[in-house]
Every structure is written in C-alpha cells, then in structure tokens.
Chain A
Amino acid sequence: MSALDHVLQHPSVWRGSQYAKVALESVPTGFGELDTLLPGGGWPRAALTELLVGQPGIGELRLLVPALARLSQHGKWLVLIAPPYVPYAPAFEALGIDLSRLIVVGTRSDAETLWAAERCLRSGVCSAVIAWPGLTHERSLRRLQSAAEQGKGIGVVFSPLRCAAQPSPAPLRIQLASERNRLNLHILKRRGGGWAAPLNLDVSQRPPLTQTNDQAGQPLHRASIGPLRPRRIRQGVA
C-alpha cells in the first residue's frame, strides 16, 4: 500500500478523479460534498450553469436555495424567468431568501425567456438568473454564457434531460435525478475536467411533520391514514 502511495504521488501520474483546481469566483452551494467537486468550490460566477432535470419537483430548486439565500443578502436581484409553477413565497422566505430581492418574470414563449435571461445576465444588476427556457439550442446558450461573463452574475438554465447529449457552451453541466428521495447529481462537465463520481445528496430540508405524528419520517402505509387523529388547527375563533 505504501509503495502504491509512493507511485501515486509521482507528478506524472494523473488519476481520473482529479481535476485542475482553478481560482474561479464562485458562491458556495451550501452542500459541502458538492463544493469539493466543483472547480471554484461552488456555483461559478460570471458563467452559465446548465442543470438537466427530467421533471420539476425532485429538489432541483432546493439545490440552489442556500446559494440564493446567501446572494439575496446583497443588493442585486435574483430573477426567476418562466418558472414551471408558482414560486411559493412562504417557502422561499422560510429558507432565508430575502423576498424583496426576488423578481419573477412570466413569458409567453421560449424566445422571450431567453431574451429576458440574456438581458438580466448582461445588465450586471442580477446576482443570479434562473431560467426555464424548455428546449434550447447551443447558440442561444452561448449568448447566455457571454451575457453572464459580461454581467458577472450566476446564470442557471434548467434543461430537459434530452439535452444531455447535445453540446453545450455552459462550463458546468449537472444532470439531476431523484433516487430514493435524495437528489442524485451527475456532473457531465466542469471546468478543469476530470470525471466525478455521481453524488447522492440529501437536499430535503425535510418538512417537519405535524406535531402529533410520532411516526415522523416513516412512510405511512395506506391503512394508517384512516385512524390518524390530527390536531385540529382552527383559526379565527377564540
């Protein structure tokens, strides 16, 4: 074993899991295991990040939330462009995001989504721009990447899984999947190269269960739904 270590320390030996550490300006993701796999130790600033997701609702947004909460402490905007559902204010607030920094932009077409994302990234007054443009082309992503470089913000694009095979100018691409209620991250591309083992991350800020439920965290079985007697929350009357 010691002999092997000796060999591995030789400068001409390169291991597949290694990647060049580069000084990139980035924002910590809030997930330590993920930070160690990303070249700058977090979501890269002044760059586009492409997240490939099959379906919303697997925890893809919670992956970004710690970074967003951190960014919202500064003066710039956080922009959600064409989100798939209504961003629910109480949850954002509870996760530490300053709502007065958040803008939601509704669009009528993918072209408008890309236009708005490019504008926001280029403006330099948005610390993070998160867009759901649907199917994208390499050329439009390239425009977003150059806009992000100019505006120095974090650009995140959610693309469908189908786009995984097509080339993308985004310096960071991560494919997300759900695995037993945890989020499985597969880094397809990152600056500095190298291959990273898929990462299994617990992003759930597990919703605390109602107080009377003593089976917290355990899946409830069908039969157990009926007899449960939850505490009544009655408001408005004394």
Chain B
Amino acid sequence: MLWSCLHFPDLSLQRLTRAARPVVPTVIRNGSNRPHVLSCDALARSAGVSAGMSLSAAIALCPQLHAHLRDAATERRALEHIAGWSGQFTPMVSVCLPDAVLLEIASSVALFGGLRALQLRMSEGLAELGYAAAIATAPTPGAAQLLARAGMSIAVTDPTRLADALRELPLTLLDQSKDTIEALGLIGVHTLGACLDLPRDGVARRFGQDLLDELDRALGRLPDPRAPHQPPTHYRARLPLPAPVYETEPLLFAAQRLIAEMSGHLRTKGSGLTRLKLTLHHEDRPPTSVHIGFSNPTRDPQRIARLLRERLARVELPERVEAIQFDSEESRPLAPHNLSLFPEDMLPEEERWSIVDHLRARLGTEAVYGIACRADHRPEQAYRACEPGSVEAGSGCARRPLWLLDPPRRLREQEDHPQLEGPLTLHGGPERIEGGWWDGADVTRDYFVASDSRGRQLWIYRERQGQRGWYLQGLFG
C-alpha cells in the first residue's frame, strides 16, 4: 500500500482565488461577532495583513480588502470535486475533511512511469485547477496525512523508515484536542518521536487511548480503513468569482479551471462529454445559460475551451457575472485512443469532429450538415440533409446533376419550348419519372438535359399534370 495525500493548507481561500488572477487582496474571515482573519492571500499579506488579526485591523491596513465568510459546505464540495478529478490516477480516492484528499497509488506508480512522474503529474494537474497542495507519499494514510500537513512534499516508500520520517514532526499536527497537546507540551513532549518514546501504558492512562491509536494507525500498527469516494455521474460545479466581471477573458480564465476539473472527472468515469450547460450567475438578474453540444464525445480540455470561447464571445451579458456553473448534461462512454505504429496515419476522431463543433458554435447547428441519398425516384425526395459523417446506405445515380434547385424554378416558354435567357437546346431525354401517389406529393414528369446560350448544362422537366409547364431543377455543375 502506498498513499499520497493532497493537503490544501488554505482551502477556504484557494477555492476563491483560483477563479481569477490576483487583483484584489482577499481574506477569509470567520463568522463570529468580532470577526478575525483566518487566512489571507499574497496581496493582503504584502499590505501587512496576517492570519489571526481582527478584521477591523486588517481593513484599516488595507481598505480595498475583500473579506469572504468561511463556508465549510463549499469547501467540502471543492474537496469532492478534487477527489473526482483525482480518480484518473487511481480507483481508490478518499476525502479527508476538512482539507485533504488521499489516493492509494501503489498500483498506479508503474502505469504513470514512476512515483516522481506521477507526483509531478498530480501537482501540475492541481495547478491547472488553480490549487496549490503539499503532496506527501507514505505507506499508511495517516503518515501521508501528517507529512502533508507539515507541508513536506516528500515520499517515504519504505515502511521500516516510516517511524524515522515521522519523529521530527510536531504534535500539533495530530487530530487531538488542544488540551492534550498542551498537556504533553507541559511535560516537554513536542514531537511525535518524543511521544513515542514515552511508556505506552502511562500515555494511555494520562492522555487517553485515542492518542496512541492515532500514532499506531500512522505507523501501520493498527488498520486504518478509509471510505472510498464515489464521484457522481454528472459533473456539476459552481465557481464563484472573487469580484464580479463583465469581460470574456476573466470568465474564460475561471472556465478553464472548471474545464480542467471536468475533464479529469470525465477521465475518471471513462466517458466523454456530448452536451454541456454553462450557467452565468448574476447578482440581481436571472442567470444566463449557454448550451454547448459536441458531435462526438470528448474530454479534451483544449477542444472544450475553444468551443466555449467561440460561444462566450457571442453571448450578450445583461449584468456582471458573479459565479459560473458547469453541468455536464449528457456524456457517453469514451475509450482512450490506441496509438498507431505510423503516427501520420492517425487522425484522432476527436480532432476530426472538433471542426464541426467549431463551425456550429459560430454559424448555428443547422448550418453544418452532411448529405445522404434516399431511396426515392422523385428527385427532390432522393436526398436529405443528415448529421455530418453519418454512413447511410443509398444508391447514387450518374444521370443526376450535382446542383439541385429546390424548389424547381419555373421556366418561361414560347410555343411550348422552354426558355432561359433564350431558347434552350435539348440534348437528351426524356426520362419519365412518376411516383408519389402514396404520400400525396405525386409527380408525373419528363426530364431532359438541356444547355443554354451561356453553355450551362441544365436539368429540366416538363410537368405533365397539375401546373403544366417547364421547370429547371438542376445544373450539371
């Protein structure tokens, strides 16, 4: 067993600041009557604000300060989303409230090319989500958690060296009550090592079995089962912006965070997105919704971002946006690609489809289509528009023109002869087509190939019933 712990020291702050580039100093405050600063970002810190300061003092130091109330429920959701995203690295992910995610990675190390490569991938991925985390790896979940809490991004893989690695850590990292830690401090015990050196029976009697159990779990002497996290099928996340915005660029910046998170989520689930709903929340107005469809399932963050950019550029915002929300409305299973022996042969399906989506995002869904044949003798019924790329059995007909006029154009006639900028010369025909009595669109026509004075080759017909006369229906383009 090998566990990696992702520990987020200022999760309450990070979940806000990740949505935008740092512009305004931001702090998190608690909800008491005399609020205190719980954590502050770099901008606030440079103005002299520090954690533990009263909010009024902080505002006196830095008047443009944005103070947000700490929200445990949102933090939990943020952790769950991180857990959903990390499912791409291992099937066993566990959420550790209030600020950590644990991953069992023993079997993934080889797949990702070594522990170092895996950790690099995780930290780079987290940076894309906008989080900074300490990532520590140890044979037990408790030890990984303690190391990560200490801010040590190290990996201890050898169980026999675990006790040595933990010895120097301060006791304040333990999940013990303040009284216990203080009491231990009074007898001169400040580190885990010093605590482990004490006689066990005495420690149990004075400080409770809990303390010993926690240490034993961390050292692997007691089992430490963790509840696996099951991400929901649909990804749904809301990202509040630190300050409301109007412009597309900051919105895209925030959306990038969610796209990265969603794409990891989809990889965890082995699925691809086919429909995405983006909701832009305003302060005083009903939210603006944008729907984005994908012709084939995808989880490529760049492709999603490109399409989103195209759509957002054309959305009229009634008011500033204070939060964005993603709902993956529809997704389908998506297997990863096989690599080809000859890379030039490879045209990933996703790439082939992204152009269709891109065109549709700007021109509208109906503007981009494929064409297919239909088994019908009536020319105007023998074709139809379809989804691009759909393979349908149909038979062509070489006698047909490449261009069709739909509806046909009525031709002038002189002494029963068709005219189009002068009399037409008939070359071939007639081909009689009758049919359609079964669905009411009955036709009885004689078709001819004709050419006009300008050398165009035309496909014309003479209607033999109803609106008699000559019509132009196609051009041999």
List residues of chain A with CB under 8 Å of any chain B CB.
Answer: 54-62, 65, 75-77, 83-95, 99-108, 112, 115-116, 119-120, 123-126, 177-181, 204-205, 207-210, 213, 216-220, 222, 225, 228, 230-236
Contact = CB atoms under 8 A, between A and B. Distances in A.
A90 B397 contact: yes
B456 interface: yes
Contact of B457 (A59, A105, A216): A59
A53 B370 CA distance: 25
A100 B477 contact: no
Nearest to B388: A103
B428 A230 contact: no
Nearest to B423: A222
B370 A102 contact: yes
A217 B449 CA distance: 10
B404 A57 contact: no
Interface residues of B, number: 70
Nearest to A97: B396
B437 interface: yes
A32 B406 CA distance: 35
A184 to B, nearest CB: 9
Given A56-B475, A86-B383, A94-B396, 16 more contacts: A58-B457, A83-B403, A85-B404, A85-B474, A89-B371, A89-B372, A89-B383, A100-B390, A102-B388, A105-B367, A106-B366, A112-B362, A204-B476, A210-B429, A210-B431, A225-B417
A51 B28 CA distance: 65
Contact of B477 (A62, A177, A181, A225): A62
B392 to A, nearest CB: 8
A225 B462 CA distance: 11
A159 B458 CA distance: 21
Interface stretch (B153-161, B278-286, B324-332, B347-355): B347-355
Contact of A85 (B371, B391, B403): B403
B403 A84 contact: yes
Contact of A60 (B362, B394, B429, B477): B477
A85 B373 contact: no
Given A94-B400, A230-B431, A116 B363 contact: yes
Contacts of B395: 90, 93
Contacts, number: 229
Nearest to A74: B347
B333 interface: no
B446 interface: yes
Nearest to B417: A222
B347 A125 contact: yes
Nearest to A180: B455
Nearest to B376: A235
Nearest to A94: B396
A37 to B, nearest CB: 21
A236 to B, nearest CB: 6
A235 to B, nearest CB: 5
B382 interface: yes
A77 B349 CA distance: 11
A208 B447 CA distance: 13
A236 B381 CA distance: 15
Q: Of A93, A119, A207, which is in contact with the most chain B CB atoms at under 10 Å from its CB?
A: A207
Closest 5 CB pairs of A and B: A178-B455, A93-B396, A94-B396, A57-B475, A57-B456
A99 B370 contact: yes
B18 interface: no
A106 B367 contact: yes
Interface in B95-145: none
Nearest to A96: B396
Interface in B353-371: 354-356, 358-359, 362-363, 366-371
A91 B456 contact: no
Given A85-B405, A119-B355, A90 B383 contact: yes
10 contacts: A58-B455, A85-B477, A89-B372, A94-B398, A95-B398, A100-B391, A103-B370, A179-B455, A207-B428, A210-B429
A197 B428 CA distance: 32
Nearest to B352: A125
Nearest to B351: A125
B432 interface: yes
A131 B451 CA distance: 25
B380 to A, nearest CB: 9
B425 interface: yes
B352 A76 contact: yes
Contacts of A55: 454, 456
Contacts of A204: 457, 476
A62 B402 contact: yes
A210 B428 contact: yes
A25 to B, nearest CB: 13
A65 B352 CA distance: 22
A56 B428 contact: no
A103 B382 contact: no
B426 A207 contact: no
A102 B431 contact: no
Given A89-B383, A91-B401, A207-B428, A107 B363 contact: yes
Contacts of A59: 457, 476-477
A62 B370 contact: no
B402 A77 contact: no
Given A105-B368, A234-B434, A213 B382 contact: no
Given A57-B477, A77-B352, A106-B363, A236 B430 contact: no
Q: Of A99, A179, A210, A234, which is in contact with the most chain B CB atoms at under 10 Å from its CB?
A: A99
Contacts of B372: 89, 99
A236 B456 contact: no
Nearest to B449: A207
B208 interface: no
Contacts of B468: none
Contact of B438 (A124, A177, A217, A236): A236
B46 to A, nearest CB: 44
B398 A104 contact: no
A231 B400 contact: no
A211 to B, nearest CB: 9
Contacts of B373: 89-90, 93, 99
Contacts of B385: 104
Given A90-B397, A219-B426, A232 B432 contact: yes
B51 to A, nearest CB: 50
A233 B477 contact: no
B377 interface: yes
Nearest to A221: B426
Contacts of A216: 428
